Structure 1
Amino acid sequence: MIKLSVNVNKIATLRNSRGGNHPDILDLSQKILDYGAHGITIHPREDERHIRTDDIKPLRDLVTHYNQQTSVSREFNIEGEPSERFLQIILDHKPDQATLVPVKPGEITSDHGFQFPQDSERLQPIVAAIKKAGIRVSIFVEAGVQNLQIAKDLGVDRIEFYTGPFAERFDRNPNDGKAMFTRFDYSAREAISKGLEINAGHDLDHKNLELFRALPGLKEVSIGHRLISQALEWGLEKTIKTYLEVLNGK
């Protein structure tokens, strides 16, 4: 089963655009779990333009209490740059998974992955500290990434494929998306051969997932922008259930 973690950044963006607490990110995150999603993802950026520091503990507690009350296993995933700031967030709130993402000043959204060995030095101490705390580590990479053995040697558990280029091509022409998918397929098989597990995220939706769900070894997709955008038309419950059905070939 491929798991769906819903990134709630866009809910926080809408809330922050007006001030106050509407929409209520905790209430909607509770509903997201009730509707069948397997986890909640956040990316607390330094400028707090969506998730704020004071959102993190309540969301961590929400997922913890949900699991205790329902006897299921839902996960809390925090994304962020390999920095002392982000490491402290991880150590303070102990998510189930920490996803390390390269961040450029002023970027609108994440748009590239780590490279090896170029990024090894800055990743090594952060990965080691997170692993010492008993937390799964995933790192953001692009299809075609080289030297994945280095990532494995750093102690990384999973890679998360940056799927923005795939989604863009699929939008333009599904056949172009299929052609690009072969690069992800090759890289996924390479990752598996190194003992790495696989996540994916960025602009995946109920259309392109019909193809992308076939990626070898795919464990989890983290989806925010397109899922929340679709929910404006369909409603949150229908959107999440549709994504889950597509992911699992129903």
Structure 2
Amino acid sequence: MYFADLVLRAGAQGITVHPREDERHIRKDDVFSLKEFIDSYNYKNNTKIEYNMEGEPSPRFLDLLLHTRPDQATLVPVTPGEITSDHGFDFKKDLSILQEYSKVLKKEKIRTSLFVETDLENLKLVSLTGADRVEFYTGPFADKFDHSPKIGQECFESLYIPAAKVVLDQKMGINAGHDLDHNNLKVFSRLPGLQEVSIGHRLISRALETGIDQSVKDYLQALL
């Protein structure tokens, strides 16, 4: 809770957690404690800090969502043994289960976002799920930007901007996340319709040099 308080006081507008089944990122008890902390923080400071929970569409995760009631649930396809999320949903294959979970979450007034890549034909099906938003997997963009900002810019323009337009044409919101940092965000923040970014590893890595407060402020500055 101490570090959650630090990032919020530095200006972060939400907290994202990914409670995996093996609890290597966050323990189940901490998921509930964070919800209590955020509710208390909002009450005391008259703010609307959001709580976003990421996880696979499974009975385990759905049960956790219904007991926690975050502002947003970001559904992510999970491959057993993976180190981190590295691919989006295939809507031809996953449509039925995503429709089922989106319907339940909508009934509970929990906003639903789906982890996606930039395949245009796949994205044309996303609104059929009933979800509210997508979260673009930005790993490929960040990797190219790390090698060359120019190549990263080209990737952004050729892949992500057309993909964003397909999503916006379906009246859905846009989030993004994975390997975004205070440098490449200056480019990615120009994505049409971008509403939210979730950043973890690189923000903390920078905080080892600058401290949490300055790291958060650097990211907020990059989003301007």
TM-score, with length taken from structure 2: 0.97
Q: Does 1:86 align with 2:46?
A: no
Q: Is the 8 A contact 2:99 2:128 kept in 1?
A: no
Q: Secondary structure at the match of 2:182?
A: coil
Q: Secondary structure at the match of 2:47?
A: coil
Structure 2 partner of 1:203:
179
Structure 2 partner of 1:10:
none
**Runs of at least 4 residues off by over 2 Å:** 144-151
Q: Secondary structure at the match of 1:239?
A: helix
Shift of 1:174: 0.8
Q: Is the 8 A contact 2:57 2:75 kept in 1?
A: yes
1:93-242 maps to which residues of 2 (within 5 A)?
A: 93-182=68-157, 183-242=159-218
The range that moved more, 29-38 or 150-159, is 150-159
Amino acid at match of 1:75: E
Structure 2 partner of 1:50:
25
1:19-45: CA deviation from partner (whole Å, max 9, x where unpaired): xxxxxxx11001111111000000000
Q: Is the 8 A contact 1:115 1:146 kept in 2?
A: no
Q: CA RMSD in A?
A: 0.9
In structure 2, distance between residues paired with 1:140 and 1:153: 15
Structure 2 partner of 1:15:
none
In structure 1, distance between residues paired with 2:120 and 2:76: 14
Structure 1 partner of 2:5:
30
Q: Is the 8 A contact 1:148 1:194 kept in 2?
A: no
Structure 1 residues 77 and 115 mapped into 2: Cα distance closer, same or farther (>3 Å)?
A: same
Shift of 1:153: 2.5
Identity of aligned residues (%): 52
Shift of 1:128: 1.1
Amino acid at match of 2:47: V
Amino acid at match of 2:6: K
Unaligned runs of 5+ in 2: none
Amino acid at match of 1:117: K
Unaligned runs of 5+ in 1: 1-25
Shift of 1:149: 4.6
Higher relative contact order (CA 8 A, sep 6+): 1
Q: Secondary structure at the match of 2:191?
A: coil
Structure 1 residues 145 and 86 mapped into 2: Cα distance closer, same or farther (>3 Å)?
A: farther
In structure 2, distance between residues paired with 1:41 and 1:55: 12
